[in-house]
């Protein structure tokens, strides 16, 4: 970052200054001082509760936690330097008389609840932040209170209480206020611009929520320690940091923050992790992994959640943290399902250090990518009505003869390292060959089946660590053969293959000159993508076009309506889907009709730098011969050597039609970046230190500067900004 800073010219800086200052005018105009936000922070909460219950501790230095980690300490202990997030054994060295009280979350929860009941009287929609903090919006309460009789309005508070109360026009300021007169005090910033700026003037940036030690250090290197310095360096920051980061810095230095309390959204992930003394045998690691999966599965099921991504977290004995994630097609929630994914990730990690042991001190499992309500419905429907579930059989798994490591290593090579395509090819090859004796033996616990090759992968699952597993028999909705499988993943794979087979028959008709069903790589690729798209889009479609909804602008409803309109017009104008490939083609068309980002969007954002071609990077397959494909949109014949160019043609065709329709109804697909979330942002990753404004940021930057300039044109842009922090 320092190197980058050296290269910045005076001219660049001046230009940045102008742009940022235009934005400052806008931000000033939208400053909202009409809300009264309170932040309540209970001082040394756990320690306070422990002292309440055991008054003997009141005069002693105490901390709550364990020898390995302290959660908090009382003010006596703090004089010795004993702090939260400090290992207990170090605290003991600092303060040998320290009393360490073990954590009792149940108790703190109860006390917290008592407090929350009181807070709710002032703001029923208050936002608790953990057990010991809360934000309240008391704007309405204050209005009502004006009508209360004198005796009710007066309140005498107990000076013994230890609570920091911050009162300010927004959440960021309120939080910083509650820190001001700690312990046991309150501080208020009156709702005037000058009061806000006075408060910030000499405030160290480290006091700002979201600015931690890393950001503090980075800014210090630029000579920025206080909020006024943060403001002074705004132009430089806009050149060195990402859009989100510098916008956040600007909000901070102007004292802008959220003026309403947002409700917590849907949960996005759930995880569990454990720290222990070194574990270095694969066997212990796998059983630990299973244990974590069991705990997590229990919690997932409590909340009725199923997720598609499983993440394994490992911390080695050198405290280096690694995460490894895998996303599966069917969502997981049970111990078996989560473990099936997690164990593969673990196997890969054990492999990667072999022949040395993997030496870890922490392991964690996380599930994310939860299904939306719509997806849940669809899933449920497809399972109950689509698949005819047969009898359930339970059987004992045989114990692996070899070490777990060897087994899982083998397993990982078989299924994890191969791409989806490779796995399919391998399965096909196996189909035409005889099974090796080894594999046949592995299949013993299953039924004797004719089409046994489909179960190679499931067979490997059988040699699992634990003993029993439930195996279900399903009837495949495509080939109507009974399929036994211990997880839906395996069954889905079978259905995929079956569908592919069907689709080949169907799709062949698209290829006029293609009479054979040869498995050239590009043909198979096309096939796989086709089916993948088909399945993916089916879900999207049923989810009420959730993805376009996530664009979150007011036109979303329009676009859904429009979608229905276009589709009904299309289907009546063209033809009813009559077979699998028709359905697949239609959903592909739907996808093309609603691209995540249209070329129009790009044009909306002016940019001084050159636009690169919007097409994705090329990935050509070697074609054996030219093919003539019929475009499903314009019906013209397209001569092509590869499917990429054909797809491009279809894309262009579809976009043409779409854009025509869109321009009439006007820009309902135009997406504008919301900057609302940027206020919450604090984290800056390592890569940012030497970034010259990354691509992702550029797009935001364009939008932001554009909106500034548009507005600035209509307002008085000659207005100078020399009004802050003099």
Q: How far is the CB of 510 from DNA (least distance, A)?
A: 25
Contact 67, 291 (CB under 8 A): no
- Give the x/- contact pattern for DNA in 649-678, rule: CB under 7 A: ----------------------------xx
Total residues interacting with DNA, rule: CB under 7 A: 61
Is 591 among the residues that bind DNA (CB under 7 A)? no
* Cβ neighbour number for residue 238 with a 10 Å cutoff: 25
Rounded Cα–Cα distance for residues 500 and 479 (Å): 11
* Cβ neighbour number for residue 295 with a 10 Å cutoff: 14
- The per-residue DSSP string of 502-539 comes to HHHHHHGGGBTT--S----HHHHHHHHHHHHHHHHHHH
Is 212 among the residues that bind DNA (CB under 7 A)? yes
- Using the contact rule CB under 7 A, the part of the chain among 139-147, 196-204, 207-215, 561-569 near DNA is 207-215
Phi-psi category of residue 545: left, alpha or beta, with phi > 0 → left and psi -120 to 50 → alpha: left
Beta strands 163-168 and 186-188: pairing type? parallel
- Within 135-194, the residues that bind DNA by CB under 7 A are none
Is 415 among the residues that bind DNA (CB under 7 A)? no
Is 593 among the residues that bind DNA (CB under 7 A)? no
Instruction: Tell me the β-bridge partners of 274.
Output: 363
- Using the contact rule CB under 7 A, the part of the chain among 227-235, 320-328, 427-435, 461-469 near DNA is 320-328
Is 477 among the residues that bind DNA (CB under 7 A)? no
Q: Which of 107, 274, 449, 665 binds DNA (CB under 7 A)?
A: 274
Q: Which of 417, 512, 596, 719 binds DNA (CB under 7 A)?
A: 596
DSSP E strands: which ranges in 417-576? 468-475, 482-485
The smaller minimum CB distance to DNA, of residues 506 and 590, is found at 590
- Give the x/- contact pattern for DNA in 227-246, rule: CB under 7 A: ---------------xxxx-
Rounded Cα–Cα distance for residues 713 and 22 (Å): 10
Rounded Cα–Cα distance for residues 290 and 284 (Å): 10
Residue 409, token pair as written in the block: 């290593």
The smaller minimum CB distance to DNA, of residues 504 and 681, is found at 681
Q: Which of 595, 665, 711, 721 binds DNA (CB under 7 A)?
A: 595
The three state secondary structure string of 557-597 is HHHHHHHHHHHHHHHHHCCCCCCHHHHHHHHHHHHHHCCCC
Is 612 among the residues that bind DNA (CB under 7 A)? no
Rounded Cα–Cα distance for residues 445 and 459 (Å): 9
- Within 353-412, the residues that bind DNA by CB under 7 A are 361-362, 364, 368
The smaller minimum CB distance to DNA, of residues 61 and 364, is found at 364
The smaller minimum CB distance to DNA, of residues 72 and 162, is found at 72
Bond from prior residue into 183 cis (ω within 30 degrees of 0): yes
Q: How far is the CB of 432 from DNA (least distance, A)?
A: 28
The smaller minimum CB distance to DNA, of residues 184 and 287, is found at 287
Rounded Cα–Cα distance for residues 704 and 591 (Å): 29
Instruction: Tell me the β-bridge partners of 39.
Output: 135, 166
Give the helix/strand (H/E) hosting 172.
Answer: helix 171-180
Q: How far is the CB of 513 from DNA (least distance, A)?
A: 29
Please choose, from the candidates 567, 542, 546, the residue with its C-alpha nearest in 3D space to the C-alpha of residue 556.
546
Q: Which of 684, 704, 708, 712 binds DNA (CB under 7 A)?
A: 684
The smaller minimum CB distance to DNA, of residues 215 and 333, is found at 215
Rounded Cα–Cα distance for residues 529 and 499 (Å): 12
Is 685 among the residues that bind DNA (CB under 7 A)? yes
Contact 498, 479 (CB under 8 A): yes
The smaller minimum CB distance to DNA, of residues 216 and 582, is found at 216
Q: How far is the CB of 146 from DNA (least distance, A)?
A: 36
The smaller minimum CB distance to DNA, of residues 107 and 680, is found at 680
Q: Which of 32, 269, 444, 663 binds DNA (CB under 7 A)?
A: 269
Residue 457, token pair as written in the block: 């992968």
Is 3 among the residues that bind DNA (CB under 7 A)? no
Rounded Cα–Cα distance for residues 537 and 197 (Å): 51
Is 204 among the residues that bind DNA (CB under 7 A)? no
Phi-psi category of residue 44: left, alpha or beta, with phi > 0 → left and psi -120 to 50 → alpha: left
Give the chain's radius of gyration (CA, Å).
31
Is 691 among the residues that bind DNA (CB under 7 A)? yes
On the CB side of 430, CA atoms within 13 Å amount to 18
Residue 350, token pair as written in the block: 């054990």
Scanning the structure block, which residue is given the tokens 């604090």?
A: 682
* Cβ neighbour number for residue 12 with a 10 Å cutoff: 13
Q: How far is the CB of 35 from DNA (least distance, A)?
A: 21
Q: Which of 184, 281, 287, 326 binds DNA (CB under 7 A)?
A: 326
Contact 225, 253 (CB under 8 A): no
- Using the contact rule CB under 7 A, the part of the chain among 16-24, 226-234, 420-428, 685-693 near DNA is 685-693
Contact 226, 252 (CB under 8 A): no
* Cβ neighbour number for residue 277 with a 10 Å cutoff: 6
- Within 300-319, the residues that bind DNA by CB under 7 A are 309, 311, 319
- Using the contact rule CB under 7 A, the part of the chain among 32-40, 211-219, 568-576, 582-590 near DNA is 211-219
Q: How far is the CB of 44 from DNA (least distance, A)?
A: 15
Which backbone phi and psi does 42 adopt, to 5 degrees? -85, 120
Q: How far is the CB of 331 from DNA (least distance, A)?
A: 12
Q: Which of 304, 390, 544, 696 binds DNA (CB under 7 A)?
A: 696
Q: Which of 150, 156, 687, 722 binds DNA (CB under 7 A)?
A: 687
- Within 536-555, the residues that bind DNA by CB under 7 A are 547
Is 273 among the residues that bind DNA (CB under 7 A)? yes
Q: Cα–Cα distances in Å, from 80 out to 50, 83, 86, 295?
A: 19, 9, 12, 39
Q: How far is the CB of 401 from DNA (least distance, A)?
A: 30
Is 211 among the residues that bind DNA (CB under 7 A)? yes
The smaller minimum CB distance to DNA, of residues 270 and 584, is found at 270
Is 81 among the residues that bind DNA (CB under 7 A)? no
Q: How far is the CB of 589 from DNA (least distance, A)?
A: 17
Is 213 among the residues that bind DNA (CB under 7 A)? yes
The smaller minimum CB distance to DNA, of residues 25 and 77, is found at 77
Residue 593, token pair as written in the block: 């009709």
Contact 341, 332 (CB under 8 A): yes
Q: Which residues bind DNA (CB under 7 A)?
A: 68-69, 71, 85, 87, 209-216, 242-245, 265, 267-275, 309, 311, 319, 321-327, 361-362, 364, 368, 547, 595-597, 617, 677-678, 680-688, 691, 694, 696-697
């Amino acid at each position: 970052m320092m190197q980058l800073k050296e290269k910045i010219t005076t001219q660049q800086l001046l230009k940045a200054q102008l742009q940022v200052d235009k934005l400052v005018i806008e931000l000033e105009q939208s400053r909202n001082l009409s809300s009264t936000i309170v932040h309540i922070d209970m001082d040394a909460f756990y320690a306070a509760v422990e002292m309440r219950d055991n008054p003997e501790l009141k005069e002693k230095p105490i901390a709550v936690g364990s020898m390995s980690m302290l959660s908090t300490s009382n003010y006596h202990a703090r004089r010795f330097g004993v702090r939260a997030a400090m290992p207990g054994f170090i605290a003991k060295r600092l303060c040998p008389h320290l009393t360490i009280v073990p954590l009792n979350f149940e108790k703190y929860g109860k006390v917290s609840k008592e407090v929350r009941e009181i807070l709710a009287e002032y703001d029923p929609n208050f936002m608790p932040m953990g057990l010991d903090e809360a934000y309240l919006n008391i704007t309405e309460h204050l209005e009502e209170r004006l009508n209360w009789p004198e005796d009710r309005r007066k309140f005498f508070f107990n000076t013994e209480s230890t609570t920091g109360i911050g009162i300010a026009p927004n959440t960021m300021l309120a939080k910083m206020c509650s820190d001001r007169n700690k312990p046991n005090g309150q501080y208020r910033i009156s709702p005037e611009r000058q009061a806000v700026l006075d408060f910030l003037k000499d405030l160290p940036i480290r006091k700002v929520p979201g600015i931690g030690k890393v950001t503090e250090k980075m800014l210090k290197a630029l000579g920025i320690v206080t909020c006024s310095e943060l403001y002074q360096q705004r132009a430089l920051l806009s050149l060195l940091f990402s859009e989100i980061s510098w916008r956040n810095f600007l909000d901070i230095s102007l004292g802008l923050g959220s003026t309403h309390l947002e409700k917590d959204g849907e949960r996005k992930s759930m995880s569990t992790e454990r720290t222990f003394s070194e574990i270095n045998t694969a066997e212990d690691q796998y059983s630990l992994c299973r244990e974590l999966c069991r705990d997590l599965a229990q919690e997932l099921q409590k909340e009725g959640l199923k997720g598609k991504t499983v993440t394994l977290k490992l911390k080695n004995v050198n405290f280096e943290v690694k995460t490894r994630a895998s996303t599966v097609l069917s969502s997981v929630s049970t111990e078996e399902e989560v473990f099936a994914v997690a164990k593969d990730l673990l196997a890969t990690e054990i492999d990667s250090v072999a022949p040395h042991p993997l030496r870890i001190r922490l392991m964690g499992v996380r599930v994310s990518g939860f299904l939306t309500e719509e997806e849940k419905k669809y899933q449920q429907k497809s399972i109950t009505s689509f698949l005819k579930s047969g009898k359930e059989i339970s059987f004992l798994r045989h114990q692996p003869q070899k070490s777990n490591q060897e087994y899982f290593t083998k397993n990982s090579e078989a299924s994890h390292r191969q791409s989806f395509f490779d796995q399919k090819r391998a399965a096909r090859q196996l189909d035409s060959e005889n099974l090796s004796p080894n594999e046949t033996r592995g299949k013993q616990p299953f039924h004797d089946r004719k089409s046994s090759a489909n179960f190679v992968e499931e067979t490997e699952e059988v040699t699992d660590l634990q003993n029993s597993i439930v195996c279900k028999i399903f009837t495949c909705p495509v080939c109507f053969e009974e399929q036994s499988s211990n997880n839906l993943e395996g069954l889905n794979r079978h259905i995929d293959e079956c569908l592919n087979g069907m689709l080949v028959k169907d799709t062949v008709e698209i290829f006029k000159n293609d009479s054979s069903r040869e498995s050239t790589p590009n043909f198979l690729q096309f096939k796989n993508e086709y089916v993948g798209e088909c399945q993916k889009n089916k879900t999207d479609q049923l989810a009420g076009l959730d993805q376009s909804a996530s664009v979150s602008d007011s036109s979303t409803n329009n676009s859904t309506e429009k979608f229905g309109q276009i589709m009904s017009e299309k289907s009546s104008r063209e033809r009813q889907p009559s077979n699998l490939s028709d359905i697949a083609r239609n959903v592909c068309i739907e996808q093309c009709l609603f691209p995540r980002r249209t070329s129009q969007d790009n044009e909306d954002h002016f940019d001084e730098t050159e636009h690169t071609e919007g097409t994705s990077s090329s990935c050509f397959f070697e074609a054996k011969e030219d093919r003539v494909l019929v475009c499903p949109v314009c019906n013209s014949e397209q001569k092509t050597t590869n499917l990429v160019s054909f797809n491009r043609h279809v894309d262009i065709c579809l976009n043409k039609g779409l854009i025509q329709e869109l321009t009439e109804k006007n820009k309902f697909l135009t997406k504008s970046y919301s900057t609302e979330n940027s206020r919450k942002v604090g984290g800056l990753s390592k890569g940012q230190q030497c970034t010259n404004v990354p691509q992702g940021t550029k797009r935001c930057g364009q939008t932001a500067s554009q909106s500034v300039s548009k507005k600035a044109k209509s307002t008085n842009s000659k207005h100078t900004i020399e009004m802050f922090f003099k």
